[in-house]
Structure 1
């Protein structure tokens, strides 16, 4: 009897400690945010836009052909949270951010500094920090959430999928989650980067459904390279060639393609299967220097030269052509970073790990020292496969 009473008391105590789903939210009570943009507004204010899903249009049973699958709310205020709360005056539901896919930072805000705008997103428990961040160039940030695109009719989902896919198969882009971007801002020895997003097309921006009713979409959203930051402020851009060099040096290339010019005319294309990067720091006359070694395995994808791929000497010669061409690309990327005085590659981090005593006295002025260091680049290519034919049919024409 005594044991039963003790068990009953323990059970009551445990049950009383259970709070249940005290903060649950029903789907019909929230507006699910998929995309968000933050830009600068006059008088030191923020301009925030949030793209939310229209549930009736996402469902195949209730969808009509007239309405878009998303709608966008916008507000201007002194803080990001005030902007979000102000949207309650027009949104019939509370906006829910746990499914956010993409954050677009406006060019104007980025030049002023993004730290204050991102503080809420790093602090609030509703933001998961695993969504991608990109920089919108050439237009107000909210415009990038208003362009309807074919195939994927939710613009934020399209932007996430395009960046996620291209970062795996196209070397000039890189997917940067919010958590990584914030870490790069506060980290010493490496400056942050974001992939640049632009609106491409003829004429004015098409923000209506007419944009997806044609085979040739008038307006498209396209990732075009990298945006370079000095801590929290935008300081410049890298084009696609320079951005490709950045990703090779930082070890972000998983699969890519590249075009190599022939000696006479035409070109040939390789498909990179895997790439491995190693960076070493050393001291030359008491000053830091670096050696970058990149090993690449690739296949021959296209051949528009008069080359016989059955000849081992030709293959060796082609590997040397790739190495020389890639080396120029990497050096061009390093040159641009030095011009901007921004060590986006993390050479400072390498020096910190391998020579901490050398790093400590120059850490606070590393970006200036970075412009003066010698960086040797070694690119080693191995061509694995040449396809099903040794000669291109074009050589017989």
Structure 2
């Protein structure tokens, strides 16, 4: 009898712990947010939420004519307060677990700084930190999230996928998630860099259904350079070439395509198959010297000059030109950042910290000043493994 009573008591104690539905939320009661935008509205924060319209998404295959997403906006003193305030207009509870992109308006990032927003979202347990962060260039986050996009019905999903693919195949773009961004902001010797997104065309038409009803959309979203931050405030932008140089230095380039000049005029287009960048530090005359080495393996994509591309001499010549071009890109990028922004976005401080921690600790609080005179050496090694299915170009014969 005692045995049965003990078993019954155990069941009574364990049963409440097995209740797995105490915090359930019904799908038809949730407003699933895919894109979150943050803008400045006077001295307050304006939050824009791109929310999925379930009925339209499911009905598009059956010829639905409504938009697949809608946008709700609210203004408040803090981010989470504004998100909660969205329920004044949204008929469903705001659900942040599926956010794909976080967009900062350029004015907000430049004037207010992004730290408080990033920290608030990191604290929020329902928001996963694996979404991509971007800055709306020459526009607001609200306008970016108001755009309808062809091919992918969900604009925020389009932005996520496009940046993910672009960062792997096009050197001037890069991805930054919230946890990585927080790490950059909190590191004294590492300033953040975030990809910018811009509107080409009329943003008003971009938010209308006719933007996706023609072969060529009147308004499109495209990535435009990298934004440079000092701590958590935007200070400027890198153009396409300098963005590429930054990514080479940071070992962010996976694959890309670029043209190099032929000695007699014209171009050879090289497609990068793989690349890796290594940093090393050594003491020279009592001062640290950063050494950057890029190893690049490429293939010839196209030949638009009179070079005899099938000879080893020509291949070695192109490799030398490509090596010089990569070194030039990295040098120009560091020079531009030093001249215009005076911040270390390359992680050189962390390189020194790992090799000479005592020296780093001494200079940590004034690292950006130390970075201005840091000795940096560049090296590039390009190997062309394939020249395609043709040896030489038909260019010369075609013009005879």
Measured against the shorter chain, the TM-score band is over 0.9
SS in 2 for 1:223: strand
1:56–1:63 contact (8 Å) kept in structure 2: no
Aligned-pair CA distance for 1:204: 5.7
2:269–2:303 contact (8 Å) kept in structure 1: yes
2:249–2:292 contact (8 Å) kept in structure 1: yes
Looking at structure 1, the residues matched to 384 and 397 of structure 2 have their Cα atoms a distance apart, in angstroms, of 24
1:97–1:126 contact (8 Å) kept in structure 2: yes
Aligned-pair CA distance for 1:55: 0.4
2:373 match: 372
CA deviations 1:51-84 (Å, max 9, x no partner) are 0000001114785543100000011111112211
Change (3 A) 1:202 1:123: closer
1:35–1:50 contact (8 Å) kept in structure 2: yes
Looking at structure 2, the residues matched to 315 and 355 of structure 1 have their Cα atoms a distance apart, in angstroms, of 40
Looking at structure 2, the residues matched to 151 and 109 of structure 1 have their Cα atoms a distance apart, in angstroms, of 30
The root-mean-square deviation of aligned C-alpha atoms, in Å, is 1.5
1:288 match: 288
1:56–1:62 contact (8 Å) kept in structure 2: no
SS in 2 for 1:59: helix
1:102 aligns with 2:96: no
Change (3 A) 1:344 1:355: same
Looking at structure 2, the residues matched to 305 and 75 of structure 1 have their Cα atoms a distance apart, in angstroms, of 57
Unaligned runs of 5+ in 1: none
1:255–1:271 contact (8 Å) kept in structure 2: yes
1:11-50 counterparts in 2 under 5 A? 11-42=11-42, 44-50=43-49
Change (3 A) 1:87 1:262: same
SS in 1 for 2:360: helix
Unaligned runs of 5+ in 2: none
Aligned-pair CA distance for 1:206: 2.9
Looking at structure 2, the residues matched to 275 and 62 of structure 1 have their Cα atoms a distance apart, in angstroms, of 42
CA deviations 1:236-289 (Å, max 9, x no partner) are 110111011111111111111111111122111111111111111122322222
Looking at structure 1, the residues matched to 186 and 59 of structure 2 have their Cα atoms a distance apart, in angstroms, of 45
1:190 match: 190
Aligned-pair CA distance for 1:337: 1.9
Count of aligned positions: 396
Looking at structure 2, the residues matched to 7 and 203 of structure 1 have their Cα atoms a distance apart, in angstroms, of 68
1:386 match: 387
SS in 1 for 2:236: strand
Looking at structure 2, the residues matched to 207 and 59 of structure 1 have their Cα atoms a distance apart, in angstroms, of 20
CA deviations 1:272-327 (Å, max 9, x no partner) are 11111111112232222211011011111111121223211111111001011111
2:279 match: 279
1:57–1:63 contact (8 Å) kept in structure 2: no
1:257-272 counterparts in 2 under 5 A? 257-272=257-272
1:228-247 counterparts in 2 under 5 A? 228-247=228-247
SS in 2 for 1:33: strand
Looking at structure 1, the residues matched to 5 and 146 of structure 2 have their Cα atoms a distance apart, in angstroms, of 64
1:224 match: 224
Looking at structure 2, the residues matched to 115 and 19 of structure 1 have their Cα atoms a distance apart, in angstroms, of 38
1:9 aligns with 2:9: yes
TM-score norm. by structure 2 comes to 0.95
Aligned-pair CA distance for 1:117: 2.3
Looking at structure 2, the residues matched to 22 and 203 of structure 1 have their Cα atoms a distance apart, in angstroms, of 44
1:323 match: 323
SS in 1 for 2:67: coil
CA deviations 1:71-128 (Å, max 9, x no partner) are 0001111111221122111111101010000010011111121112223211110110
Change (3 A) 1:16 1:66: closer
Aligned-pair CA distance for 1:201: 2.1
